[in-house]
Structure 1
């Protein structure tokens, strides 16, 4: 369901313990990259387990518009015939990325070093999000960007025919900016280098190597990571198996931890160490969370997660953990509201420029549900739990933010009064079928 269609209000209320086994949708970050790298590779790329949420489907359509052959063979099963590095062609129409910030920012990197003009747009939420953090480094390659203030969409991208390799040090840790610069460097002669102050998710680096790029990673004495890419490689199509998205697994995991008597298993979850900050934090809070059947698939560590209801306690989450769990703070704040003691989540400025201002959305929504929470200096979210769930009883505006919507539906599974969200349509961007899957485990979620 598109986030541009009629609102879909939902109510969530307690019904009892959650029980069962489930598989969450494929990893969104890996799915986007599999489609993009497959479109740039020579020969055939097959993808199994692709997330078929709206965000990723927008990327698939963009790759078609840029000349790649992209076919859906069955549920989660896709095949691409790529055009080679530098082989994308000028699209006939606007590239509409819907709600996908990842898709839009990575696509700008690809387009920056292809010598034609494209226009990118998105839904109301995406058009509000700042893009200058990407357009500024990409302009150094020689690309030009014409858009609204702050580089916001709609945005015209005119790629350069004579790109200049760059060495770019990220001012703040951002996997999207890092990946956009690397993608621009693919079609640039010479060596492009990205220096990141803190490690962020490294799916781009792992997958570029898997497709045949000459890419190296080193660590400086100050802990910064230096990623070096040799431009204009010949990427070769390959088979990609996408693991379950840890950011999606976060919602049933936290639900099982806070609903008394629950015991679930989430299968096939990607456990890339640069994505598992939430699980580390939950373990510190006392979660009964076990990794079983640990293995490696397509270069990524994978495991099944066995989760039981737990009496959680408050902790302080250090700012350096943020890159490994930036999308999970909304659902962590729900866990914190049900824990005993104070939880402090430090250094969350990045949450203000996500699909919505997630910092404000969680602070305001939790207060409306009766939780003791506020935002302290330096963008720190403080939640003071009593060891019991807050009362609930609020209808939460989600502002087209899928993770805010799912977080409050999880909270409603354990509060005394039902919790509603004003529009569930955006959930399809990352977790199609979320409500139905949770209902199968024992949740009570229905139309408001």
Structure 2
């Protein structure tokens, strides 16, 4: 029987000190994938040793890629080239990682062998047609369940042809999957985004020496090239830093310095939204590491005001909304989010699950089809369920800083998918969190 982990977080306190949160999850996934199909050796520092990224790593090992590590965030990948992957002898189990599954659909569509992608119960409920349908337009043969979910069967040996694809919904995962398939396609593959999404794939392809053309909302590449191994330094993940950005903003007496955080402009929506709410965040020593912008972020307590969140910022903060909802619960007045229907198909229905949890803690939180209306108020203690969603669990842990009583959070084992050591790091900064093992 698997061990269940619950969090019990005592109320009040402040966050103080300095910390470097784990490496960026999105960049860690892509570093493994591109390093594996590059020629030569790729050396990675700052790799995220969490379950999601390790699932990607295990998949490429099962396809014949030799990898040393990870050891303290260091990884050495011996690339096999564009056509050197071998057929896996069994289905590739990607655990809870939607990024792994969607991006691998694109990369494996161009291989000469068949493959099957599976995941845990949560991942097996997530929609995959948004990736599989445009891949079919390129000539891929892919089968899902009748509901459009995993398991996904990808048939090899198909000739892919580049397409010009207008994405109906902004999604970095769909864009990346199509670009990875485009590496193996004849002709040019172009993806047009309705709104900007994270551009780590494009930046990293350039870092591996593969030409990518960007023209406004359009990203294009030509198939048939090759990648060259390189050295990568993965910045700290802004999605993980977001919990402490919010925590220090809502807890009087707080001051935290978060080191070496990736501030890619397609990911900084959380900074802009918090600043619109009145947060005091300073960007210190901005620099570029391996083509990715990085800085230290200093955040101090400041009274927050409710706002109407600009829809243009939604795709730039899509993973940070669980903890942004906590900021809204602690703000003066009303916060309104629209244009975020994507949150309903994440690891959980993050709109409904956060609304239910905030209500259980005494906050007026009204879910809408594509967002939420939250009236700031006094958080009470209580018991909430994370539904196995790592970001929900961490968001409610941070909420305890402003609660009147303890907050108990059920089902927190999945925090390890993105933020190993969260409980210890949060405790070091001043959050009174106890992880309780059950079962």
Query: Which TM bucket (shorter chain)?
Result: over 0.9
Question: Is contact 2:12–2:403 with CA below 8 Å preserved after alignment?
Answer: no
Aligned to 1:222: none
Partner of 1:212: helix, strand, or coil?
Answer: coil
Aligned to 2:240: 248
Structure 1 residue 92 displacement after superposition: 0.9
Select the residue among 398, 412, 435 that pairs with 1:410.
398
Question: Is contact 2:182–2:188 with CA below 8 Å preserved after alignment?
Answer: yes
Alignment of 1:169-248 (within 5 A): 169-219=166-216, 225-248=217-240
Question: Is contact 1:113–1:141 with CA below 8 Å preserved after alignment?
Answer: no
Question: Is contact 1:13–1:414 with CA below 8 Å preserved after alignment?
Answer: no
- Deviation track 1:16-51 (CA, whole Å, cap 9, x = no partner) reads 221110000000000000000000100000000000
Aligned to 2:287: 295
Alignment of 1:46-445 (within 5 A): 46-72=43-69, 74-219=71-216, 225-376=217-368, 378-386=369-377, 389-391=378-380, 393-445=381-433
- Deviation track 1:277-310 (CA, whole Å, cap 9, x = no partner) reads 0110101111111111111111111111111111
Moved more, 313-322 or 101-110: 313-322
Shift in alpha-carbon separation, 1:230–1:115, aligned structure 2, 3 A = same
Structure 1 residue 436 displacement after superposition: 0.6
CA distance, structure 1, for counterparts of residue 131 and residue 109 of structure 2:
10
Partner of 2:241: helix, strand, or coil?
Answer: helix
CA distance, structure 2, for counterparts of residue 115 and residue 406 of structure 1:
41
CA distance, structure 1, for counterparts of residue 189 and residue 435 of structure 2:
51
Structure 1 residue 413 displacement after superposition: 2.3
Question: Is contact 2:337–2:371 with CA below 8 Å preserved after alignment?
Answer: yes
Question: Is contact 1:116–1:160 with CA below 8 Å preserved after alignment?
Answer: yes
Q: Which runs of 5+ in 2 are unaligned?
A: none
Structure 1 residue 189 displacement after superposition: 2.3
Structure 1 residue 394 displacement after superposition: 2.1
Question: Is contact 1:314–1:343 with CA below 8 Å preserved after alignment?
Answer: yes
Question: Is contact 1:142–1:159 with CA below 8 Å preserved after alignment?
Answer: no
Question: Is contact 1:127–1:153 with CA below 8 Å preserved after alignment?
Answer: yes
CA distance, structure 2, for counterparts of residue 301 and residue 147 of structure 1:
37
The answer to whether residue 32 in structure 2 is matched with residue 35 in structure 1 is yes
Equivalent residue pairs, number? 436
Partner of 2:402: helix, strand, or coil?
Answer: coil
When the two chains are superposed, the root-mean-square deviation of aligned CA atoms in Å is 1.2
Partner of 2:95: helix, strand, or coil?
Answer: coil
CA distance, structure 2, for counterparts of residue 101 and residue 347 of structure 1:
21
Question: Is contact 1:50–1:78 with CA below 8 Å preserved after alignment?
Answer: yes
CA distance, structure 2, for counterparts of residue 187 and residue 169 of structure 1:
20
Question: Is contact 2:36–2:80 with CA below 8 Å preserved after alignment?
Answer: yes
- Deviation track 1:337-387 (CA, whole Å, cap 9, x = no partner) reads 0010101111111000000000001111100100011023x523111114x
CA distance, structure 2, for counterparts of residue 216 and residue 275 of structure 1:
20
Partner of 2:396: helix, strand, or coil?
Answer: helix
Give the TM-score, by structure 2 length. 0.97
Q: Which runs of 5+ in 1 are unaligned?
A: 220-224
CA distance, structure 2, for counterparts of residue 162 and residue 73 of structure 1:
35
Question: Is contact 1:112–1:141 with CA below 8 Å preserved after alignment?
Answer: no
CA distance, structure 1, for counterparts of residue 180 and residue 153 of structure 2:
18
Question: Is contact 2:38–2:226 with CA below 8 Å preserved after alignment?
Answer: yes
